[in-house]
């Protein structure tokens, strides 16, 4: 496979990238180079080209070189565009057509054309769209960050910015035209992209970047690095609150300085270390960077933080592990206060180095902290919340130690080899011929958590068994969102489902013929939308004691999710409140804590029956399996219902589920046991009487 990456932004070179040299020379370049390195290890990949823009500038002679080897299989090619100097991303739209023409000419000179293009950022996607239209080469798109999110993060201050409007338009076009959009987190896939006019969730796949974290785990300190920080501080032995980011507004470093400056307790407890790019004279920096550095210096002066804040002017990429080690050895922590963090590579590095995290609750950090349990999420617009979280961790030795130990999970969860395997499988499926989808003879729908997954050996057994069931379509029905469901299934190496019933039955997705992307069932969406008024439902539930909304990421257009405090009768009070407001809704309570409010027509049971009828299957050709209260409707609706042995919420004793088969085995092996039971029962019923 020949992969051609398109990346116009920033100062891209094969080695010794000067991150922070310009406002556009950031994490996306690190991601791209690491991805290329991981891809070259796969024998199925024959060649990789990174096409970027050639320019002449005081920034360095490297960027005028026409080609540069990355390794035996990979190279950077720099192509001429209409203008010859360095351009910031806001101006790159002027070069899209000329870059596309140069790229098409380059491709046509090659003995073998690329199998797929991978565009990075919106301007590259605009280029890839032109190339695809001309040459028919499909492209995938990674946004890295989104214009809409930037506009929201700035509270609309940039709403009239023409360059931002062009960027948003280009991103919407990329979502519409790309064969696949790769997102790094659930927040990007489900929240950030949701504002796009061309939003189609099933064509977005979450593929969290890997990271080579070996150099950070247990990294030693460096006397030179220590000295570069200590020279700012009155008491360098105090715990270090470390932030490492480019000095641009969206990284929100000013809020961290404000949090520190307004908390005497935090100043007494710790020092603040700001590693914000590299500079000689901040007046020579790009506009945003110069303004941000000036604001940081102003805040340090306003709060008179001299001797308590370090802000070194220089650091090299190879110094970064030692910077984390500096904070670790002083019992410190790492803070990422970005207004939105698309992924959070520095969070992985810091955590691998043994630092607890205080991270923005907007973006990728949600996934990192949920998966690894290595820190606290905060509202980045609340300096007091940042200060309180940092002080809580630094004041509790046991909590600090627990978060620090959890960093060991990071290397396993974010591995480049596994990332590359999944990435190449996605590309291969997109470039292959569409697969004919045969109408199934039977259908199996499983709940995910504690039914299909929960036992590693069980899911391996299920995967092997599933391959020998050619006439059996496999699907899942879950309270999770579509992307969350796919993520957990892929983490557990579960078979890819043909149908995904997500968000407690309020959404249905069908696997496309390419075997990779999904399409949401528009007819089901129309059905569940009738008489659904989520705003009125929220108002009706707002004042019920003991009811707490779950995080914004868990809310869906047709699902309102809450936590209950376990008090008796709360579900009855919720239903009564909805009825008094004239609302007819479905209320699902499970595990004694989770509560979902849905459109009346939405449930796992009604969704399964809708899919059954879509596949033109009889009721006795469908199996369903579950373990908890949010599976009751599904288990009650379908005659061939399976309750796995590790059930909860008293399922096996419910009169409405007497027809169910209660398996002796737990999790996925219980599912198999149940299917075999009903098949044996059907065969026995078909035998002629002797």
Residue 421 is assigned to a structural domain of this protein = no
Helix (H) or strand (E) run with residue 67 in it = strand 67-69
Residue 425 is assigned to a structural domain of this protein = no
With a cut of 80, say whether residue 463 has pLDDT above it. yes
Q: Please indicate whether residue 482 or residue 19 has the higher confidence score (pLDDT).
A: 482
The CATH number linked to 541 is 3.90.1070.10
The CATH number linked to 607 is 3.40.50.1000
Interacting residues of 641 by C-beta distance below 8 A, sequence separation 6+ = 623, 624, 625, 626, 634, 635, 657, 659, 660, 661
Q: Please state, in angstroms and as integers, the Cα–Cα distance from residue 64 to each residue in 11, 79, 104, following that order.
A: 11, 9, 20
Distance CA 305, CA 151 (A): 31
Q: Among all chains, which residue has been given the structure tokens 């080690």?
A: 325
Q: What is the pLDDT of residue 233?
A: 98
Verify that 621 and 551 share a domain, yes or no.
no
In eight-state DSSP terms, residue 667 is H
Residue 281 is assigned to a structural domain of this protein = yes
173: pLDDT confidence band, cut at 50, 70 and 90? very high
Query: What total of structural domains would you count in the chain?
Result: 4
Q: What is the full DSSP assignment across 574-613? A: HHHHHHHTT--EEEEEETTTEEEEEETT-SHHHHHHHHHH
Cα angle value 519/614/429 (rounded, 5°): 35
β-bridge mates for residue 116, sequence order: 3
156: pLDDT confidence band, cut at 50, 70 and 90? low
pLDDT tens digits for range 351-389: 999 999 999 988 788 888 987 899 999 989 899 999 999
Verify that 537 and 662 share a domain, yes or no.
no
Distance CA 164, CA 249 (A): 15
Residue 290 is assigned to a structural domain of this protein = yes
Q: Please indicate whether residue 535 or residue 689 has the higher confidence score (pLDDT).
A: 535
Q: From the CA atom positions of the chain, what is the Rg in Å?
A: 27
With a cut of 90, say whether residue 669 has pLDDT above it. yes
486: pLDDT confidence band, cut at 50, 70 and 90? very high
Cα angle value 605/606/611 (rounded, 5°): 100
Q: Where a domain ends, among 557, 572, 599?
A: 599
pLDDT tens digits for range 508-562: 999 998 888 999 999 999 999 999 999 999 999 998 888 888 877 788 899 999 9
Phi-psi region of 518 (alpha: psi -120 to 50; beta: other; left: phi over 0): beta
Verify that 237 and 260 share a domain, yes or no.
yes
Pairing relationship of beta strands 499-502 and 507-511 according to DSSP bridges: antiparallel
Q: What is the full DSSP assignment across 366-424? A: HHHHHHH--EEEE-TT-HHHHHHHHHHHHT-HHHHHHHHHHTHHHHHHS-HHHHHHHHH
Distance CA 409, CA 492 (A): 16
Mean pLDDT in the chain?
Answer: 91
Interacting residues of 449 by C-beta distance below 8 A, sequence separation 6+ = 478, 479, 480, 488, 627
Minimum mean pLDDT among 102-116, 259-273, 386-400, 574-588: which range?
574-588
β-bridge mates for residue 218, sequence order: none
Q: Where a domain ends, among 573, 599, 625?
A: 599
With a cut of 60, say whether residue 157 has pLDDT above it. no
281: pLDDT confidence band, cut at 50, 70 and 90? confident
Helix (H) or strand (E) run with residue 273 in it = strand 271-275
Q: What is the pLDDT of residue 214?
A: 81
Q: What is the full DSSP assignment across 415-454? A: -HHHHHHHHHHHHHHHHSPPPP-PPPSEEEEE-TBTTTBS
pLDDT tens digits for range 318-360: 999 999 999 999 999 999 999 888 778 899 999 999 999 999 9
Are the C-beta atoms of 332 and 355 separated by less than 8 Å? Answer: yes
Q: What is the full DSSP assignment across 634-658? A: HHHHSSSEEE-TT--TTGGG-GGGT
pLDDT tens digits for range 218-256: 889 999 999 999 999 999 999 999 999 989 999 999 999
Instruction: Report long-range pairs for 650-654 (Cβ below 8 Å, ≥24 apart).
Output: 651/626, 651/627
Are the C-beta atoms of 280 and 18 separated by less than 8 Å? Answer: no
In eight-state DSSP terms, residue 276 is -
Residue 211 is assigned to a structural domain of this protein = no
Q: What is the full DSSP assignment across 110-178? A: SSS--SEEEEESHHHHHHHHHHHHHH---EEEE-SS-HHHHHHHTTTTTTT-HHHHHHHHHHHHHHHH-
Q: What is the pLDDT of residue 553?
A: 78
Please compute, for residue 688, the number of CA atoms within 13 A of its CA located in the half-sphere on the CB side. 1
Q: What is the pLDDT of residue 686?
A: 80
Verify that 274 and 398 share a domain, yes or no.
yes
158: pLDDT confidence band, cut at 50, 70 and 90? very low
Please compute, for residue 328, the number of CA atoms within 13 A of its CA located in the half-sphere on the CB side. 25
**Mean pLDDT (whole number) for 262-277:** 96
Verify that 485 and 544 share a domain, yes or no.
no
Verify that 619 and 636 share a domain, yes or no.
yes
Pairing relationship of beta strands 116-120 and 74-79 according to DSSP bridges: unpaired
Verify that 256 and 336 share a domain, yes or no.
yes
Residue 518 is assigned to a structural domain of this protein = yes
Residues of the chain above pLDDT 90, percent: 69
Verify that 249 and 142 share a domain, yes or no.
no
Verify that 302 and 408 share a domain, yes or no.
yes
With a cut of 90, say whether residue 111 has pLDDT above it. yes
Q: Where a domain ends, among 206, 232, 250?
A: 206
Residues of the chain above pLDDT 70, percent: 98
Phi, psi of 625 (to 5 degrees): -140, 140
Instruction: Residue 356: give the domain boundaries.
Output: 223-413
612, two tokens: 């059954």
Verify that 405 and 470 share a domain, yes or no.
no
Residue 424 is assigned to a structural domain of this protein = no
| 364-392 CB burial, b ≥16 within 10 A, e <16 | bbbbbbebbebbbbbebeebebbbbbbbe
Residue 161 is assigned to a structural domain of this protein = yes
Interacting residues of 83 by C-beta distance below 8 A, sequence separation 6+ = 55, 94, 95
Minimum mean pLDDT among 161-165, 248-252, 447-451, 680-684: which range?
161-165
Verify that 460 and 473 share a domain, yes or no.
yes
Verify that 517 and 464 share a domain, yes or no.
yes
The CATH number linked to 123 is 3.40.50.2000
**Mean pLDDT (whole number) for 70-96:** 94
**Mean pLDDT (whole number) for 92-118:** 97
């Amino acid at each position: 496979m020949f992969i051609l990456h398109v990346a116009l932004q920033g100062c891209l070179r094969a080695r010794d990238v000067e991150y922070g040299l310009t406002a556009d020379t950031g994490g996306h370049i690190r991601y791209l180079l690491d991805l290329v390195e991981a891809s070259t290890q796969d024998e199925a990949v024959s060649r990789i080209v990174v096409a970027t823009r050639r320019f002449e500038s005081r920034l360095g002679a490297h960027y005028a070189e026409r080609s540069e080897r990355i390794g035996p299989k990979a190279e950077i090619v720099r192509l001429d565009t209409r203008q010859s100097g360095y351009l910031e991303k806001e101006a790159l739209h002027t070069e899209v057509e000329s870059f596309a023409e140069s790229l098409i000419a380059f491709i046509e000179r090659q003995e073998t054309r690329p199998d797929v293009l991978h565009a990075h950022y919106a301007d590259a996607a605009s280029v890839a769209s032109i190339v695809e239209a001309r040459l028919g080469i499909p492209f995938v798109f990674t946004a890295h960050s989104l214009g809409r999110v930037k506009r929201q993060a700035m509270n609309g201050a940039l709403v009239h910015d023409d360059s931002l409007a062009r960027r948003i338009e280009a991103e919407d076009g990329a979502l519409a035209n790309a064969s696949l959009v790769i997102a790094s987190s659930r927040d990007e896939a489900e929240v950030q992209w949701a504002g796009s006019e061309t939003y189609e969730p099933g064509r977005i796949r979450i593929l969290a970047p890997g990271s080579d974290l070996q150099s950070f785990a247990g990294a030693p300190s460096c006397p030179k690095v220590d000295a570069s920080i200590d020279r700012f501080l009155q008491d360098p032995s105090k715990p270090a609150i470390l932030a490492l980011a480019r000095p641009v507004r969206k990284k929100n470093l000013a809020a961290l300085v404000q949090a520190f400056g307004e908390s005497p307790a935090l100043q007494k407890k710790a020092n603040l270390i700001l590693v914000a790019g590299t500079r000689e004279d901040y007046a020579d920096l790009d506009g945003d960077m110069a303004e941000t550095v000036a604001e940081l210096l102003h805040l340090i002066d306003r709060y008179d933080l001299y001797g308590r804040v370090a802000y070194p002017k220089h650091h090299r990429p190879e110094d970064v592990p030692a910077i984390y080690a500096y904070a670790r050895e002083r019992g410190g922590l790492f803070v990422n206060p970005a207004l939105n963090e698309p992924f959070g590579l520095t969070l992985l590095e810091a955590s691998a180095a043994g630092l607890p995290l205080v991270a923005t609750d907007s973006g990728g950090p949600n996934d990192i902290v949920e998966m690894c349990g290595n820190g606290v999420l905060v509202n980045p617009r609340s300096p007091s919340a940042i200060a309180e979280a940092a002080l809580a961790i630094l004041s509790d030795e046991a909590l600090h130690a627990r978060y620090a130990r959890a960093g060991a999970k990071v290397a396993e969860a974010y591995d480049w080899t596994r990332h590359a395997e999944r990435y190449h499988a996605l590309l291969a499926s997109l470039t292959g011929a569409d697969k004919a989808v045969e109408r199934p003879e039977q259908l199996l729908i499983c709940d995910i958590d504690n039914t299909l997954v929960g036992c590693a050996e069980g899911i391996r057994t299920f995967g092997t068994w599933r391959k020998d069931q050619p006439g059996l379509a496999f699907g899942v029905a879950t309270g999770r969102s579509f992307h969350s469901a796919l993520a957990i299934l892929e983490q557990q190496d579960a078979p890819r489902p043909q149908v995904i019933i997500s968000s407690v039955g309020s959404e249905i997705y069908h696997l496309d013929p390419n075997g990779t992307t999904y399409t949401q069932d528009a007819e089901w969406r129309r059905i569940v939308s009738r008489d659904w008024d989520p705003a009125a439902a929220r108002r009706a539930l707002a004042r019920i004691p003991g009811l707490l909304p779950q995080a914004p990421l868990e809310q869906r257009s047709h699902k309102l999710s809450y936590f209950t405090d376990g008090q008796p009768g709360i579900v009855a009070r919720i239903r009564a409140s909805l009825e008094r407001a004239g609302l007819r809704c479905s209320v699902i309570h499970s595990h004694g804590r989770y509560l979902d409010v849905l459109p009346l027509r939405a449930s796992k049971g009604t969704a399964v029956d809708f899919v059954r009828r879509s596949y033109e299957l009889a009721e006795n050709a469908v199996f369903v399996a579950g373990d908890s209260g949010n599976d009751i409707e599904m288990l009650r609706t379908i005659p061939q219902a399976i309750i796995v042995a590790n059930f909860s919420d008293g399922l096996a004793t419910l009169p409405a589920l007497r027809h169910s088969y209660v398996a002796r085995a737990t999790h996925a092996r219980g599912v198999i046991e149940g299917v075999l039971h009903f098949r044996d029962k059907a065969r026995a019923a078909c035998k002629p009487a002797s």
